[in-house]
Structure formats: structure tokens, C-alpha cells
Amino acid sequence: MTEQNIQPVFSLDKIYVKDVSLEVPNAPKIFLNREQPNIELNISFNTEQVEDGVFQTVIHAVVNAKIGEQQMFLIEADQAGIFQLRNIPADQMELIQNIECPNMLFPYLRETVTDLTTRAGFLPVILAPINFAFLYQQKQSQLSSANETVN
């Protein structure tokens, strides 16, 4: 093997919106309501291998805006990316897939959500930054706590 073939490769080859949905079930009356909505955000993500050394990461976001019990809008968006991950040490692979890949995609998800809310006729919703490293650490400590409980 040449030295070039064993160099670690981490690159983002493609960014795309895999799936998107926008619902404004109470239009046009909802536009007459001037109250501030309560906005809930749920985010999850996963990475799966597409072929050898090629992975897809998808961040799934659900943005739910309500005024009281009345639905203002509901957005579901899957922001995806295709990454090349080759010759990465095993201990680094999980960190890259759980921290770096979603970090690279999140600004595009934020832009998608902002654009959709604006196009739907509402003030833009700008998602606050997410610390994927912190989420990963939280998940790891929950897993180790669960393993300690089982043992």
C-alpha cells in the first residue's frame, strides 16, 4: 500500500435536504393571532454506512409552534450529508460520526428551518446552536450508568 492510501480521509461530499414537511393547519386565521408562540424543538440524528468508507448522516428536526393549544405551524426536516470516512482509527470514528458530521450539517438545517418559516408567512425561526460534543458525552454517561445498573 502506498502512503497516500493509508492517510485518513474525512470529507463532506454532498449536503442535501432529504425530506421536508411544513403544515400550517389553521391558516389564515392563525395569522391574525398576535401572541407569541411556544416553539418546541426536537432533534435527533443518525449515521449509516452507504458503502465502504461512505456514510450518510441525517439530522431530523421537528419544530412545533403553538399558541395555547392551537397549532401555528409544524416543520419536519431531514438535513443529510454524504461523508467519506476512510482509514480513520476506530476510536475516532464514533466521535466523527456523532460530533463532527452533525456539526457540519447543522447550519444547513438551521437555514432550511428559517427559510420555511419565512416562506410560510411567519417570523423566521432561527435555531440556537447545538453542542453535539456535549450531547455525545451525555449519551455516553447515560450508557455507562445503564451498564453499571445492569451489572
At residue 5, does pLDDT exceed 70? Answer: no
Instruction: Give me the residue spans of the domains in the chain.
Output: 3-150
Pick from 127, 120, 143, 93: which is nearest to 28 by CA?
120
pTM for the structure as a whole: 0.87
- Predicted local confidence at residue 148, as pLDDT: 72
Write the pLDDT tens digit of every residue in 47-79. Answer: 999 999 999 999 999 999 999 999 999 999 999
Pick from 114, 23, 105: which is nearest to 72 by CA?
23
99 secondary structure, DSSP code:
I
Q: CA 46, 50, 51, 55 torsion: positive or negative?
A: negative
Per mean pLDDT, which range of 17-31, 97-111, 130-144 is the poorest?
A: 130-144
For the structural domain made of 3-150, what CATH number should be given?
3.10.420.10
CA 139 to chain CA centroid, nearest Å:
16
